[in-house]
């Protein structure tokens, strides 16, 4: 078992079984052995690859999207451009390249990257070594809020926020826990059902064994973002893989070296994520006083922004790379690749016009 696995075993032996949400937090963020604290999991040499690492087209189009929304909101002279979980910094690098098309937009930017991992902060600083404007880092999400409009990017961020899992039994919904079985970690159910668990009616009827996942951390953050945007203007763009809040099912998964891995075998050595419930995020945005647009599929979003034309332009400028550009285009937009699994949702002020792509 991994060093973190041994640490979790000792914790459970001392205090009893822990919920799935706590296991996720330890596996990803333990200061000594967590995935994000101890190594770089992103990229071809890591555990998974994100859309910005597939092609510069992804980040450039998001940069143009932000520029257009800024123009729709009468070009405020000072805005906070923030990214949650910026990975290797590739997305922000491409966003800022597109931003250079409008010097007034660049002059308005106060860029902040929200990153808890010192190791990843160093990687991001290297990637963004020549930015068009100053960049600041913070480990705390709360630091991105101020008294100015917030333009926020969250690409594959919400899927890594902790979830709770509940399993339907004759006695009600029981929370799934992580416990110790001999020398190994295993799943178990809390013996007492959760009274009055709020399951959205859109999920339908639950049969015995049905799994309901919920992420209070995600909805609380979405509501906080929406409340800020409702008060100060701005926009948030959330791109992630997820669903529309219909039906039941278990989506928590572990990925190591780009392959599926057992969830409990070696915590700290595999990335953990779960599908984002976009319906819950949209409801949270409404509670915050803003309006949610979407979700739409990533393929539809990028196609509406003109990714096909951008691919043609790049291919003409770089004919030797035309095949790889076409491959990246398919990877990002094709229904059987990232095109349908990934979704895009925007949060804007309630009176703002619909943003591009929605």
Tally of domains in the chain: 2
Same-domain pairing of 338 and 294: yes
Segment 157-184 shows an average pLDDT of 95
Q: Is residue 13 part of a domain?
A: yes
DSSP string, 290-315: EEEEEEEEHHHHHHHHTHHHHHHHHH
Give CA–CA dist 28/268, Å, rounded.
6
Give CA–CA dist 14/19, Å, rounded.
15
Same-domain pairing of 202 and 154: no
Segment 262-278 shows an average pLDDT of 91
Do the Cβ atoms of 57 and 310 come closer than 8 Å? Answer: yes
In this model, does residue 178 exceed pLDDT 70?
A: yes
Give CA–CA dist 231/102, Å, rounded.
26
pTM of the model: 0.92
pLDDT band at 137 (very low <50, low <70, confident <90, very high): very high
Lowest mean pLDDT among 43-57, 70-84, 104-118, 206-220: 43-57
Same-domain pairing of 150 and 272: yes
Same-domain pairing of 330 and 191: no
DSSP 147: S
Helix intervals (H) in the chain = 3-15, 20-29, 35-38, 51-54, 56-72, 90-99, 103-108, 118-127, 216-232, 278-287, 298-305, 307-317, 322-333, 340-341
Same-domain pairing of 150 and 280: yes
Q: Is residue 355 part of a domain?
A: no
Q: Which residue has the higher pLDDT, 47 or 247?
A: 247
Same-domain pairing of 310 and 177: no
Same-domain pairing of 28 and 177: yes
pLDDT band at 247 (very low <50, low <70, confident <90, very high): confident
Domain range spanning residue 340?
A: 36-159+218-245+268-349
Same-domain pairing of 155 and 296: yes
Lowest mean pLDDT among 37-41, 171-175, 204-208: 37-41
User: Which pLDDT score is estimated for 113?
Assistant: 98
Segment 52-63 shows an average pLDDT of 93
Same-domain pairing of 203 and 226: no
∠ CA(61), CA(62), CA(66), 5° rounding?
120
Same-domain pairing of 31 and 41: no
Same-domain pairing of 198 and 324: no
Helix (H, G, I), strand (E, B) or coil at 13: helix
Q: Is residue 187 part of a domain?
A: yes
């Amino acid at each position: 078992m991994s060093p973190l696995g041994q640490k979790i075993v000792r914790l459970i032996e001392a205090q009893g079984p822990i919920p799935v949400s706590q296991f996720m937090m330890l596996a990803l963020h333990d200061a000594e052995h967590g995935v994000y604290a101890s190594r770089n999991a992103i990229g071809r040499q890591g555990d998974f690859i994100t859309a910005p690492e597939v092609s510069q087209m992804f980040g450039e189009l998001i940069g143009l999207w932000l520029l257009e929304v800024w123009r729709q909101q009468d070009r405020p002279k000072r805005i906070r451009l923030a990214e949650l979980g910026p990975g290797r910094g590739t997305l922000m690098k491409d966003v800022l390249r597109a931003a250079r098309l409008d010097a007034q937009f660049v002059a308005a930017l106060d860029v902040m990257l929200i990153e808890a991992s010192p190791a990843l902060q160093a990687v991001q600083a290297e990637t963004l070594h020549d930015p068009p404007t100053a960049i600041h880092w913070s480990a705390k999400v709360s630091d991105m809020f101020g008294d100015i409009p917030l333009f926020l990017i969250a690409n594959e961020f919400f899927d890594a926020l902790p979830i709770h899992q509940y399993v339907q039994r004759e006695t009600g919904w029981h929370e799934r826990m992580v416990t110790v079985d001999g020398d190994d970690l295993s799943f178990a159910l809390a013996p007492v059902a959760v009274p009055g668990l709020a399951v959205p009616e859109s999920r339908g009827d639950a049969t015995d064994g049905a799994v309901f996942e919920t992420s209070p951390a995600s909805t609380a953050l979405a509501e906080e973002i929406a409340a800020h945007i409702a008060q100060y203007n701005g926009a948030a763009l959330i791109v992630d893989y997820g669903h529309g809040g219909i039906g039941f099912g278990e989506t928590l998964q572990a990925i190591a070296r780009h392959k599926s891995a057992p969830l409990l075998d070696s915590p700290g050595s595999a990335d953990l994520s779960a599908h984002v419930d976009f319906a819950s995020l949209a409801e949270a945005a409404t509670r915050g006083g803003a309006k949610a647009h979407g979700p739409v599929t990533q393929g539809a979003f990028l196609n509406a922004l003109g990714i096909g034309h951008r691919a043609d332009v790049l291919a003409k400028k770089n004919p030797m790379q035309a095949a790889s550009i076409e491959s990246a285009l398919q990877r990002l937009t094709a229904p059987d690749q990232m095109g349908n699994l990934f979704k895009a949702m925007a949060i804007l002020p309630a009176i703002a016009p619909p943003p591009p792509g929605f």
